[in-house]
Amino acid sequence: MTRYIIKRLLISIPVLLGISLVAFFLVQASGDPMAVYISNPNLSAEDIARLEKAYGFDKPVYVQYFYWLRKAIVGDWGQSFLTHQDVLLMIRQRLGNTLILMGTSFAITLIISLALGMYSATHQYSPADYLVTAFSFFGYSMPSFWFGLMLIIIFAVKFREWGLPYLPAAGMYPIRGEPSFFQLIRHLILPATVLSLISVAKYTRYLRSSMLEVIGQDYIRTARAKGLSERVILWRHAFKNAVIPLLTIIMLDIPQLFSGALITEQVFAWPGMGRMYWEHAVWIDYPVLMGIILLVSTLVVLCNLLADISYAIVDPRIRLS
């Protein structure tokens, strides 16, 4: 087991290096981080030459990469060109907010897709099955910024005007009030809904088909033959085996959730990391972009590692292959 974990850990290192390489060259090739200064007519030629030198843009790209890498490894992720702050500090200020949003939508996604997937699998090809499918695909097919704006119009603006209980349109806490946990939950509802509906369809469908597959297996037939109640068969035997492979899929989906968070945070003015990425991408503030990409990717790699290891614990066959 230890050998397996070490092997998996070692594999992660080139992956992380690869991520940093891909990200660095893409981001670096994107344009001129000095643009933010040059578009400013109040800067003189000397100003710009001085700034360029101060940031090391006069060196070739690969030199800049190793320069960046050497520092990144020891935990110095550099300073933002725009805010002059340490990238790690900036990420720390936003990461929690993004994780709150993502965590909540993740929980919502999971609850809805488990419920719908199980229902769908046990009622295959029934009208209700179609309805569930239709519902789960609804959110998946909707452009998220448009969906977000619609929700704001209906639940934050119209409901308020009609005197109905309404939801806040933007931010994490009320603009004028005191922050509280309860307010946080209210502010979470709309963005988390938008974000979670993206993945509901996928998980519902996946759970449905893996349930169908498991139900067809011999041990379920045996259980049925033993006269176990349908409920016990479904939940104790089939469900457990159907959900485990779902976890792998979910882990692979974390980057997609971040992608969704970028748009959602923008629409709902959520003070998260995705929005920060976009605000700094426009000006190619690459220490920040690199920091975010690297952090997110590391999270993904770690999650995958955890999933693989727990999988290996459950199913020893994997370790051997």
Partner 1 sequence: MTVMESSLSTEIMYRKPQGPWQLAARRFVRHRIGVVSSLILLFIVGLVILGPAWFISEDAAFRPDPMRINSPPSADHWLGTDEVGRDILARIIYGGRVSLLVGLLAMLVAITAGVLLGSLAGYFGGIVDSLIMRFTDVMLSIPGIFLIIALSVFMGPSMRTIILAIGFLNWMSVARVVRSLFLSLKEQDFVLAARCLGVKDGRIMWGHILPNAMAPVVVAATLTVGSAILTETAVSYLGLGIQPPTPSWGNMLKNAQDLIWTAPWVAIFPGAMIFFTTLCINFMGDALRDALDPRMQL
Partner 2 sequence: MTHRNLNILLALLTILTLILAACAPTAAPTEKIVTQVVKETVKETVVVAGTPQVVEKVVEKVVTPTPEPEKPKGTVVVGVWQEPKGLIWNIFYEAHTNDILDSMYYAPVALNEKDELVPEMLQEIPTLDNGGISADGKTITLKFKDGLKWHDGQPVTSEDFKFTWQFVVDPNTKSQTSIGWDRIESVDTPDNLTAIVHLKEPYVPFVAAVLSFPVLPKHALEGVPDPGNSEFARKPIGNGSFIFQEWVPGDHITVVANPEAMKQPKIEKIIFKFVPDMNTLVALLRTGDVDIAYDLRELQIAEVLKMKDVEPYVVPGVAVERYYFNLRDPNDLTKPHPIFSDIRVRKAVAMGMDRFTAVSRILQGYGEVAVTELDNHPWFNEELQPVPYDPEAAKALLDEAGWKDTDGDGIRDKDGKKLSFTHSTTAGNQVRENLQVFFQQNLKDIGVEMVIQNYPAATLFGGCADNGIFGQSKFDMIGFTNKPASIDLAQEWADFFLCDAVKNCETNPAGTNAWGYCNEKTDAALKCAIGEVDPDKRLACIKEAQKLIYEDYIALYVYDRLDVYAANKRIGGFNPTVFGSWTWNFEDWYVQE
Smaller CB separation from partner 1, 110 or 290: 290
The binder of 4, among partner 2, partner 1, none, by C-beta within 5 to 8 A per type, is none
Find the shortest distance in angstroms from Cβ 86 to partner 1.
21
Alpha carbon of residue 34 to chain centroid: 30
The binder of 316, among partner 2, partner 1, none, by C-beta within 5 to 8 A per type, is none
Find the shortest distance in angstroms from Cβ 84 to partner 1.
22
Q: Which residue has the tokens 């769908």?
A: 120
Cα–Cα distance for residue pair 193/264, rounded to 1 Å? 10
The binder of 144, among partner 1, partner 2, none, by C-beta within 5 to 8 A per type, is partner 1
Amino acid letter for position 217: Q
Smaller CB separation from partner 2, 80 or 109: 80
Question: Nearest-CA neighbor of 189 among 151, 163, 216?
Answer: 151
Q: Nearest 5°: CA angle at 94, between 91 and 96?
A: 110
Largest Cα separation within the chain, whole Å, is 86
Q: What residues does 79 pair with on adjacent strands? A: 86
Smaller CB separation from partner 2, 3 or 84: 84
Smaller CB separation from partner 2, 120 or 308: 120
Find the shortest distance in angstroms from Cβ 146 to partner 1.
5
> To 10 degrees, what angle do helices 181-215 and 127-140 make?
130
20: CB partners within 8 A, 6+ apart: 69, 72, 290, 294
Structure tokens at 98: 């993004």
Find the shortest distance in angstroms from Cβ 68 to partner 2.
16
Find the shortest distance in angstroms from Cβ 180 to partner 1.
31
Dihedral, 308, 314, 320, 321 alpha carbons, nearest 10? -60
Where does this chain bind partner 1 (CB under 8 A)? 11, 14-15, 18-19, 22-23, 26-27, 29-31, 125, 130, 133-134, 137-138, 140-146, 149, 153, 201, 205-206, 209-210, 212-213, 216-217, 245, 249, 252, 255-256, 258-259, 262-263, 266, 277-278, 281-282, 284, 289, 292-293, 296-297, 300-301, 304
Separate counts of helices (H) and strands (E) for the chain: 15, 0
The binder of 22, among partner 1, partner 2, none, by C-beta within 5 to 8 A per type, is partner 1
